[in-house]
Amino acid sequence: MPSLPSKTLETFPNPAPERDFHIHMEIPEFTCLCPKTGQPDFATLILDYIPEKLCVELKSLKLYMWSFRDEGCFHEAVTNRILDDLVKATKPRYMRLTAKFYVRGGIFTNVVAEHRKKGWKPAPRVDLASFDTQSNTRG
């Protein structure tokens, strides 16, 4: 039986809830409709999050994204709605959704929305790229 679009986001238990780890997803085929013209809007969505107890299941995420194909949505509204739905489903420590909409009328639109769990603070970033392995010094 073929898959159908769905607003249901399924989750699974975080396999390492004792640590902060970063999940990065790129969704290059997001589409919705312009609420003014009815023409399709295309975007690449970039989802970054640090899970608490739950992770989003990929097939359900795909079907969820597909469910916007025939909906009229302003870029700002749909980005925030998707973030809200993902936060509600997964209750992450941190989540950022970046929506990079393709050009329309000579204008590119990027919308970034974030959620932070109350009280959560990220660990300091470790920059391994600048470590010189030849001399064992920072470069």
Alpha carbon separation from 78 to 6, 60, 98, 122 (Å, rounded): 15, 18, 11, 27
Dihedral pair phi/psi, residue 63, rounded to 5°:
-70, -35
User: Distance between CA 19 and CA 4 in Å, rounded?
Assistant: 35
Selected catalytic residue, list 20, 34, 48, 85: 34
41 is catalytic: yes
What is the three-class DSSP state of 98? strand
User: What residue has token string 């769990």?
Assistant: 117
Specify whether 132 is catalytic: no
Amino acid residing at 9: L
- Looking at the annotation, which residues are catalytic? 34, 41
